[in-house]
Amino acid sequence: MLQEYVDVLIIGAGPSGCVSASYLHKNGVKIKVVEKTKFPRLVVGESLIPRVMDHFAEAELFECLDAMNFEKKLGARFIRGEEICIFDFSNKFGEGWDWTWQVPRADFDNTMAQEIIRKGIDLEFESEVISVSFEGKNSSTVVKDINGNLKEIHAKFIIDSSGYGRVLPRLLDLDTPSKLDPHSSIFTHVKDNNRPEGLEGTQISFDILETQVWLWVIPFSNGNTSLGVVGPTDFINSLSKNKDNREALNNAIKLSDFYIKRFAGVDFLFEPVKLENYSRSVKKMYGDGFALTGNSSEFLDPVFSSGVAFATESGMLAAKLCLKESQGITVDWEDEFTGYMKRGIAVFTTYVKEWYTGNLQTLFFHQPEDPDVKQKICAVLAGYVWDENNPFVKKHENVIKNMAHLLKNGQ
């Protein structure tokens, strides 16, 4: 069997893997990236949040992405019947980027993958991890290419950025049930022929059909728009008696008073994809010789578009800690990696839970608006969930439910 020797093996060439690879490469680390699929490929997670821009800039991937002229996302709109709440990222608490992108992930991910190849990083597409073994922190990973050829890759460290593939969680029995209730989604892309002019045509929106059911509308700069419905798995399954994803999504669109005229009867560009019970968690986020990043570790819910942000946050952090360790610096992975990531994940988990209880929606749509409250919530939605100067971060476990209780009781 062919043998390869590298400093760091990265599994997966999505945003997390590319951020890790690019950062380590510019710091002189010998990298190998293996990716099971062929790019470009379809993947969900098309709405980003501003925090990701810090990571793309630091990993020197911003310029190649900016050149693609993806649709700029300046905020987000939430719709509930005739009520509308708009968050403007430029009007948030604290520092940080005030815009990001709405992206067809096939193009977005491929742009980054081709850029890291251009930088000289060894990226191998259509190569599947078959097995992995560890001797101390050193690993031996068997990979099978598209022709069935096997190769053994020896690495001093593995960063698993395999996303929904969840390679190491599956091989090392690290999966554990999510703490969130089971939700599912169905999505596709459409040619947005009825798109209005101006901001209305380009603004990302979340249309609340019921307290726990919502429709996403994510316009792209190429004239297409991503449409998806999210809700409790039982509800999503009830949208079609025949379990027909096309019928289910069409029925969801009919429930939207706001969007039915724009999207009723529109042709789907591909057969709608269903993601069932998508929330994921793991028993641990690292071990001797490896770290789990992005959806390989935790995936919460798409309602606040946190997926790519946690992917790039954990990818960048894992790369930095891996580099420190390679330089002989002691790293406390429990505190510096798991502890740090869990703090941000806990904040977003609270917001997801309180969204589905309706408490957060009470804050969103209450009139008159409280500008100070809105700015602090906006900072969380922008991804700055480690800033404990923000009381809506520091006191996340209680502040939303307490404030919603006061509003509901007219206090």
Q: What is the pLDDT of residues 282-336, one digit of tens each?
A: 889 999 999 999 875 556 677 888 899 999 999 999 999 999 999 999 999 999 9
Say which DSSP state 299 is in: B
pLDDT at residue 221 in the model: 97
pLDDT for 338 beyond 70: yes
* Enclosing H/E stretch for 32: strand 31-34
pLDDT at residue 297 in the model: 58
Task: Provide the token pair at 402.
Answer: 């307490």
What lies within 8 Å, CB to CB, of 144 at 6+ separation is 127, 128, 130, 150, 151
Tell me which amino acid residue 181 is.
D
Summarised one tens digit per residue, pLDDT across range 109-123 is 999 999 999 999 999
Phi, psi of 42, rounded to the nearest 5 degrees: -75, 135
- Cβ atoms of 320 and 312 within 8 Å: the answer is no
Phi, psi of 364, rounded to the nearest 5 degrees: -60, -45
What lies within 8 Å, CB to CB, of 382 at 6+ separation is 49, 50, 51, 89, 92, 96, 97, 98
pLDDT at residue 409 in the model: 82
Say which DSSP state 266 is in: P
Q: Going along 149-270, which residue ranges are E strands?
A: 150-160, 175-176, 183-191, 205-210, 213-219, 224-232
CA–CA separation, 74 and 199 (whole Å): 10
Please state, rounded to an integer, the average pLDDT across all residues of the chain.
94
Say which DSSP state 338 is in: I
CA–CA separation, 314 and 320 (whole Å): 10
Identify the bridge partners of residue 9 per DSSP, sorted by sequence position.
32, 158
